[in-house]
Amino acid sequence: MSESFTPTERTRVVREPQRGAYDRETVYRILDEGLVCHVGFSADGQPFVIPTLYARIGDAIYFHGSAASRMLRSLGVGANVCLTVTHTDGIVLARSVFNHSMNYRSVVALGQATIVEAPAEKLEALRAFTEKILPHRWSDARQPNEKELKATSILRLPLTEVSAKVRVGPPEDDTPDYALPIWAGVIPLRIVADAPIRDERCDPGIPLPEYVACYRA
Amino acid sequence: MSESFTPTERTRVVREPQRGAYDRETVYRILDEGLVCHVGFSADGQPFVIPTLYARIGDAIYFHGSAASRMLRSLGVGANVCLTVTHTDGIVLARSVFNHSMNYRSVVALGQATIVEAPAEKLEALRAFTEKILPHRWSDARQPNEKELKATSILRLPLTEVSAKVRVGPPEDDTPDYALPIWAGVIPLRIVADAPIRDERCDPGIPLPEYVACYRA
């Protein structure tokens, strides 16, 4: 397997091309860190963008198809989709309003999504979702039964046309602006997990699992 | 002005309809809390979903058009777009794998985006972007000059067809599963800001502004 995806006319980063990345390591890391993706598809000429859970297995992304029920109804299998994952890492305060920005890492994947039919592949995708939400959860929770597996609609998007875009570092101001007496820098942002909240209907005798207590976003 | 948006066939929440909300207060609050939206549009039959900065002014959303340069090139003005904002508030750990979920708040807005041409409106939108990124920043930073205003591509999407979807609270398990000896509950997630990082090229004599020091995401 090649170390990089080949940029196409549709995935090559046009604006700020120095921020583009196509290597699998960067793409995988961004995808594997996120919990929610935004899936785009069209129905009757209208684009829709729906947030949904996803997971990567190798060079395929699996995502919950129920979120794309409009797409499934309208287009059936083989629908063109765009799946985007974005992490916002910081607020970039430049001296000029014009150069204000965000530090971010995003992946955009284009292609045709197909419905996963095979029960074994569905189960594997569900396992990946669950382990992505919270490592070690899969073996602790009640496994899906046949009826649930049937009711679960999962789509697969092969990772073929894909690019990442990454902005890191300090603001980039126009040369004369560096002399201005304006504070400039970055406010880093990150997602944190607060203390777990036990379901009121969860028996207090059931201990908080280590993998829940230790979770860090 | 009505207190609620009227759901259409395209915006009415079909799956888990009890999570749907159409009142302006809920929609505005979700939009005003976010920093980055995901804009969806189609070009040559392929959907694209691009993260970009945005701000709401009344019943219009302004967003950076450079992110949609493919759209502008392909479709010009009056392009059908979908603009989605999502906050992920928690990981929902149910007893069954099947009922695992996320707590989230999202807004989906559909419509036709148009390019903002009037300099005054552009300036107002830039001010809204900047103040949304960081309140009080606008008056502190160097204001846009005429050249920068011209170089800024901003799109406006009127808020007409819009809906929110909100999931809060504990897991919802099937009745028999509540008897299982499995820990269940929610891990709350939130975005935090870390200590600001001064640009190395920022004179240490320039004090850290109060509005930067006090920033909370």
Q: What angle do CA B131, B137, B143 make, to 5 degrees?
A: 95
Tokens linked to A56: 């990567």
DSSP state of B96: B
Residues of the domain holding A26: 17-191
- Any domain includes A198: no
DSSP state of B22: -
- Any domain includes A166: yes
Average pLDDT for consecutive 10-residue bins of chain B (217 residues)? 88 89 96 96 90 96 75 63 97 97 97 91 95 96 94 92 97 98 98 97 97 89
| Cβ contact B104–A46 (<8 Å) | no
Distance to chain B for A2, nearest Cα, Å: 25
Question: What ipTM was reported for this prediction?
Answer: 0.94
- Any domain includes A208: no
Global model pTM greater than 0.90? yes
Per-residue pLDDT, A75: 47
- Which chain B residue has its CA at the smallest distance from A134's CA? B91
What is the number of structural domains in chain A? 1
- Any domain includes A207: no
Residue pLDDT, tens place only, B16-50: 889 999 999 999 999 999 999 999 999 888 999 99
Calpha distance A66→A89 (Å, rounded) = 29
Per-residue pLDDT, B64: 87
| Cβ contact A100–B40 (<8 Å) | no
Q: With beta carbons under 8 A apart, name residues in chain A contacting B97.
A: 126, 130, 138, 141-144, 148
| R_g (Cα) of chain B, nearest Å | 21
- Any domain includes B109: yes
The answer to whether A49 and B108 are in contact (CB under 8 A) is yes
- Any domain includes B167: yes
Beta strand pairing call for A79-93 and B60-64:
unpaired
Distance of CA A46 to the CA centre of its chain: 23
- Which chain B residue has its CA at the smallest distance from A212's CA? B187
Tokens linked to B97: 């794998």
| Cβ contact B102–A206 (<8 Å) | no
- Any domain includes A212: no
Question: If contacts are CB pairs under 8 Å, which of residues 151-210 in chain A contact chain B?
Answer: 151-152, 170-171, 177-178, 180-203, 206-209
Task: Output the 3-class SS for A93-143.
Answer: ECCEHHHCEEEEEEEEEEEEEEECCCHHHHHHHHHHHHHHHCCCCCCCCEC
Assign residue A85 the CATH number of its domain: 2.30.110.10
| Cβ contact A183–B202 (<8 Å) | yes
Q: With beta carbons under 8 A apart, name residues in chain A contacting B206.
A: 181-183
> What is the pLDDT tens value at each position of chain A, 217 positions in all?
679 999 998 889 888 889 999 999 999 999 999 999 999 999 888 999 999 999 999 999 999 876 556 656 554 557 899 999 999 999 999 999 999 999 999 999 999 998 898 999 999 999 999 999 999 999 999 999 999 998 888 999 999 999 999 999 999 999 999 999 999 999 999 999 999 999 999 999 999 999 999 998 7
B38 CB within 8 Å of a chain A CB = yes
- Any domain includes A2: no
